[in-house]
């Protein structure tokens, strides 16, 4: 994915699509304050299902929307991933700043 302009980290959300059922947003936080634009999921979805992923930009000011629905309404994570103060590069500055 392409990061947000001021999105210093990303939050990755994963939901499940069930074959034969109407689509419904059911995502949960999969990876919080992710500092790179790549995530790996080694979990296989159960038979008859598929995973979908939504990404938000995150910085010290907060979290962006995770998408737009078919009627162009913003979709926000509720609840969001939260803030963990990650510092992957070890510079004593949280990654979201």
Assign residue 43 a region: left if phi > 0, alpha if psi is -120 to 50, beta otherwise?
beta
92 falls within a domain? no
pLDDT at 27 over 90: yes
Q: What is the DSSP letter of 22?
A: -
pTM, to two decimals: 0.87
Residue 90 included in any domain: no
Q: Which two tokens stand for residue 97?
A: 């700043």
> How much is the CA Rg of the chain, to the nearest whole Å?
15
Domain that residue 57 falls in: 9-75
pLDDT for 63: 92
Say how far apart CA 38 and CA 12 lie, in whole Å: 10
Question: Is residue 44 in some structural domain?
Answer: yes
CA-CA distance, 16 to 40, in Å (whole number)?
Answer: 16
Q: Domain count for the chain, please give it.
A: 1
Q: pLDDT tens for residues 33-85? A: 988 888 999 999 999 999 999 999 998 888 999 999 999 999 999 888 988 88
Looking at residue 86, what is its pLDDT? 83
Which residues share a beta bridge with 63? 58
């Amino acid at each position: 994915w392409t990061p947000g302009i001021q999105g210093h980290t990303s939050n990755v959300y994963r939901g499940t699509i069930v074959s034969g059922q109407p689509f419904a947003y059911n995502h949960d936080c999969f990876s919080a304050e992710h500092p790179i634009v790549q995530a790996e999921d080694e979990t296989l979805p159960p038979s008859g299902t598929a995973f979908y992923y939504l990404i938000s930009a995150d910085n010290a000011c907060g979290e962006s929307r995770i998408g737009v629905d078919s009627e162009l309404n913003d979709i926000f994570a509720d609840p969001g991933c939260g803030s963990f103060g990650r510092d992957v590069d070890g510079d004593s500055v949280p990654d979201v700043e």
